[in-house]
Amino acid sequence: MVKFHEADVRKFRNVFVCRKCKTKIKSPNMKIIQGKVSCRRCGSKVFKAVRKK
Ligand SMILES: [Zn+2]
């Protein structure tokens, strides 16, 4: 169950959008959660997951 969900996350949620400048960043969500990723443009560490269907 968990692994299935994880696969789903990998497929759709490895892309995040910076909340400040709306730049799209492709990164493993674990890194985003841990705050290890910063925006290329503005250096912000606040990201929002992209939902795409
Ligand atoms: Zn940014």
Ion ligand 1 nearby residues (CB, 5 A): 18, 20-21, 23, 39, 41-42, 44
Query: What is the CA(47)–ligand 1 centre distance, in A?
Result: 8
Q: Residue 50 has what pLDDT?
A: 82
pLDDT bin (cut points 50, 70, 90) of residue 14 is confident
For the chain, the structural domain boundaries read: 2-49
Instruction: Pick 29 or 53 by higher pLDDT.
Output: 29
Query: What is the CA(4)–ligand 1 centre distance, in A?
Result: 31
pTM for the whole structure: 0.68
DSSP assignments along 1-53, one per residue? -HHHHHHHHHHHSSEEEETTT--EEE--HHHHHHT----TTT----EEE----
Q: Residue 33 has what pLDDT?
A: 86
Q: Round the average pLDDT of the chain to a whole number and report it.
A: 82
